Amino acid sequence: MTMEHTYAVIMAGGGGTRLWPVSRKEKPKQLLPLLGQETLFQDTVRRLENLFSPERIFIVTVEEQAREMHLQSPEIPEENYIIEPSPRGTASVVGLAATVLYKRDKDAAMAVLPSDHFIRNRDLFHYLLKAAFDVAANGYLVTLGITPTHPSTAYGYIQQGEPLNGSYKYPTYKVKSFKEKPNEKTAQKLLHTGDHSWNSGMFIWHADSILNEIDRQMPDLGNALRKISAVWGTEEQSGVLNENWQGLKNVTVDYGIMEKAERVAILPAGGLGWSDVGMWSSLFEVLLPDMSGNISTNSSLHLAYETHNTLVYGGNGDRLIVTIGVDDMVIVDGGDVIMVCKTDQAQKVKDVVEHLKKHRQEKYL
C-alpha cells in the first residue's frame, strides 16, 4: 500500500491517577519521563518515525498540555495541534480530528493512537498499522487488539468473529463484540477462549468512514462537527468550536460508536510488547531490570542492599533512596509525597488518590 493520505492522530488529553504521586492534575502521565530519558509522549512520537512525517502527525489535547508537548517534541508543527476546549470524551475527540483531517484531505486515513502507551516492537507496530490501513481502505473501522498474556481486569476485551474476506497481509477478523473490563473470574474465562483481545484504544479508519458512523449513531455530534467544519480555519473557528463543544455528550468512542458500528475489524496482535503503563507495576514490563530484578528510573540515586524486584522512581535533585532487605516493592519519590507500595497492590494507588480528594488534600493531588 501507499502511505499517501495517511495521518497519525495522537490523543493526549487524559489525566489518570494510577501513577500518582508523580502524575498530578497539572502533570499527566504522558508528559512524565517514566521510561528514563523520554516521556511517554516523546516515545509515542518517535515510534512514528519513518512511517509518518511530522507534518502528518496531529495531536488532540487541551491547551495546558499543548505547550509542554511542543517543548518535548518540537518537530510537530504547531498548526497540527487540535485543542479540545474541555474534555468531552473520546467520541468527540475522534470526531473532531476526523473532521479536521477530512476538511484538509477528502481521502484522509487516520491512525488514532493513545499518547501514553508503550510498545517495544516498533517494526511489528509499523507493519500492523500498514496492514490496518489496507483494511480501512475497504471502509472498515479497524482496531488493533492485544493478545492477552494474563487474565487482566484492567482492560476491556474485544471478541473476534469470522475472518474477514479479502487478501490481507495480517490475519484480520470481524469484531463480534466489545466487552467492559471484566471481573477476575470472567477475565480467567476470556483468557482461555482464544478469541478475545485486549482493547488497546488504537483505531485505524478513513475519516469519512468514522464520520458516517457518527452521523448514523450520534447525529447530535455529527451536526456539531458539521458546524465546526464549516468555519474551521476561519476567524470564527474558536467561537463556534467552544459553543458547540459544551453541549456534547461525554462518551467514549468504544461505547458511543464502535460497539454498534457496522463494519468493524480487528487485527489481534501478539508480540508487540505493548503496555498501557496503567500503574507503577507496569514499568516492570517496560524497562529492563538489573540482575536483582530492580529498576531505578528518573535518574534516581538508589542504593540497593539485599533488595530484589523493586522499582525506585527518583525525585528531582539528589535525594538518595536506600533500600535494605526490600522485595517486590514500588518506591516513588514524588517530591512532597513519598509512596511505598507492594508491587502487586499498585492498582490501589487510585484509592489513595480518591481518599485525598475526599478529604480535600488539594496540595497532594
Per CB under 8 A, residues contacting a second copy are: 21, 303, 305-306, 318-326, 329, 331, 333, 336-342, 344-346, 348-349, 351-352, 355-356, 361, 364
Q: What minimum distance in Å lies between the beta carbon of 293 and a second copy? A: 16
Peptide bond into 163 cis (omega under 30): no
CB of 353 to a second copy, least distance (A): 10
Measured from the CB atom, the residue of 46 and 319 that comes closer to a second copy is: 319
- CA dihedral (118, 123, 128, 133) positive or negative: positive
Q: How far is the CB of 277 from a second copy (least distance, A)?
A: 18
C-beta closer to a second copy: residue 154 or 231: 154
Least distance to a second copy, CB of residue 344, Å: 7
| Dihedral-angle region of residue 297 (phi above 0 means left; psi in -120 to 50 means alpha; beta otherwise) | beta
User: Phi first, then psi: what are they for 278, rounded to 5°?
Assistant: -80, -15
Query: Are β-strands 264-269 and 141-146 bridged in parallel, bridged antiparallel, or unpaired?
Result: parallel
Rounded to whole angstroms, the Cα distance separating 262 from 260 reads 6
Name the minimum Å distance from CB 363 to a second copy.
Answer: 8
Which C-beta is closer to a second copy: that of 269 or that of 312? 312
C-beta separation of 126 from 51 below 8 A: yes
Q: Tell me which H or E stretch contains 100.
A: helix 89-104
Closer to a second copy at the Cβ: 200 or 281?
281
Residue whose CB is less far from a second copy, 25 or 216? 25
C-alpha distances in Å from residue 352, one per residue of 16, 140, 346, 347: 13, 42, 11, 10
- Nearer CB in complex with a second copy: 153/159: 153
Q: How far is the CB of 337 from a second copy (least distance, A)?
A: 5
